[in-house]
Structure 1
Amino acid sequence: MEKRDTPIVPPCSIAWTPIPSISWCLPFVGHLGIVDGDGLLHDWDGTPIHPNHPKDMLFGEPARYVVLARDPAPAEKERWNQAIAQADYEFSRHPHCIGYGYDCHSHVARALNLARYLGCTYHNKILNIARYLGCTKVFLAFAVFFAGHYVSVPRDLLRVWVPPLVMLPPIVIVCFFIVLLLLNSPSE
């Protein structure tokens, strides 16, 4: 696969993009992919993974990213690429099940486990604070949400935050009136 000249997400990083409808109500939920040492994106949607340019991410161009290794040494870059390739192979045989099964976050977590990123091999979905704080799939979501860089500050900042700011007030108002109705309903 050929690299395009202008990378929008640096190599050795994770990339995040909002999922329409879901991210509009829950802005911390989105689609996650991992970028190899050559700048190619690997994002899993339940089918075999074909590395491509980050602009070709499943739900559109990435809005945010977190660099996990800046200017890695050749051996580290090779280990990173091999870990991602192994995760790609393993996930080509799994069914996709968002949330509780195998999903895009699980794929990224598996690649990080194989790469032994931060010396940790337990990047997964289950937050076990006592033993694995900082080495879970939940950590990945928090890392992107709180430490992620916007690919384009004006454009992606608006793309991530305008839909929730439009959607959440009506939802809160409706919930408020439902609660009022329930509290004021005569009880028998």
Structure 2
Amino acid sequence: MENIESPQETLVIGRFDTSEHRYPCCIVWTPLPLITWFIPFIGHVGIATCSGVIRDFAGPYFVSEDNMAFGWPTKYWQLDPYKAHGGPTGWDKGVALASDEYKTRMHNLFCDNCHSHVSMALNLMHYENSTSWNMVKLCFLLMLHSKYVSIGGFLKTWVPFLILAGGIAAFLVFV
């Protein structure tokens, strides 16, 4: 893993646009079928470059670009690229280096997954002067800071869980 030591350069930050699925300098989240239905805070994440192009560790030896493995984001957490070492250029380098590394890795649902990919990008860019990003910290901070892209994103996240929970509750009450 390469450390980013370039000086801060001027890079144009793209325009935030949910209709075009552009989330510059954001961590994005989408539900995982079945898993999110039972545990609504667990989902699939990706990280967007300064231009808004989303990269996500989508499976063994594969990092997708602008084609998230489980659909477009339903939530996002916008971060400040100037808190990355090297500013926006450092942000993009961190995303690129982490993506290149994860193109060589086997996917493991429990310990080397999409959250690990995003955490590595944040560590490589020394986001907020930290190299202690990990999947647990990322999951917790996403729960606290993320925003839904729309009412549809909120419904896509919560309706399956509410139907399942309601069905289980009804079963327990009437059986």
For the aligned pair, the TM-score class normalised by the smaller chain equals: 0.7 to 0.9
Call closer, same or farther: CA 1:26–1:117 in 2, change over 3 Å. Answer: same
Distance (whole Å) between structure 2 residues aligned to residue 4 and residue 118 of structure 1: 23
Partner of 2:165: 168
Partner of 1:146: 144
**1:9, 1:65 within 8 Å by CA — same for their partners in 2?**
no
Distance (whole Å) between structure 2 residues aligned to residue 175 and residue 30 of structure 1: 27
Partner of 1:48: 62
Higher RCO (CA-CA < 8 Å; seq separation 6+):
2
Does 1:17 pair with 2:27? no
| RMSD across aligned positions (CA) | 2.6
Distance (whole Å) between structure 2 residues aligned to residue 31 and residue 115 of structure 1: 21
Partner of 1:82: 93
CA deviation vs aligned residue, 1:56-79 (integer Å, no higher than 9, x gap): 311011000001116789x41110
| Structure 2 gap segments, 5+ residues each | 1-13
CA deviation vs aligned residue, 1:121-146 (integer Å, no higher than 9, x gap): 0112xxxxxxxxxxxx2221122222
Query: Please, which of 125, 128, 134 is the counterpart of residue 115 of structure 1?
Result: 125
Identity %: 35
Instruction: Tell me the SS of whatever aligns to 1:102.
Output: coil
Partner of 1:28: 41
CA drift of 1:171 comes to: 3.5
**2:23, 2:54 within 8 Å by CA — same for their partners in 1?**
no
Distance (whole Å) between structure 2 residues aligned to residue 79 and residue 157 of structure 1: 32
Instruction: Tell me the SS of whatever aligns to 1:27.
Output: coil
Q: Which runs of 4+ in 1 moved over 3 A?
A: 3-9, 70-73, 169-178
CA drift of 1:90 comes to: 1.0
Distance (whole Å) between structure 1 residues aligned to residue 157 and residue 142 of structure 2: 12
Instruction: Tell me the SS of whatever aligns to 1:158.
Output: helix
CA drift of 1:10 comes to: 2.5
Distance (whole Å) between structure 1 residues aligned to residue 172 and residue 106 of structure 2: 35
Instruction: Tell me the SS of whatever aligns to 1:43.
Output: strand
Q: TM-score, normalised by structure 2?
A: 0.79
| Structure 1 gap segments, 5+ residues each | 125-136, 179-188
Does 1:105 pair with 2:120? no
**1:32, 1:105 within 8 Å by CA — same for their partners in 2?**
yes
Call closer, same or farther: CA 1:17–1:71 in 2, change over 3 Å. Answer: same
Greater percentage in strand: 2
Call closer, same or farther: CA 1:118–1:4 in 2, change over 3 Å. Answer: closer
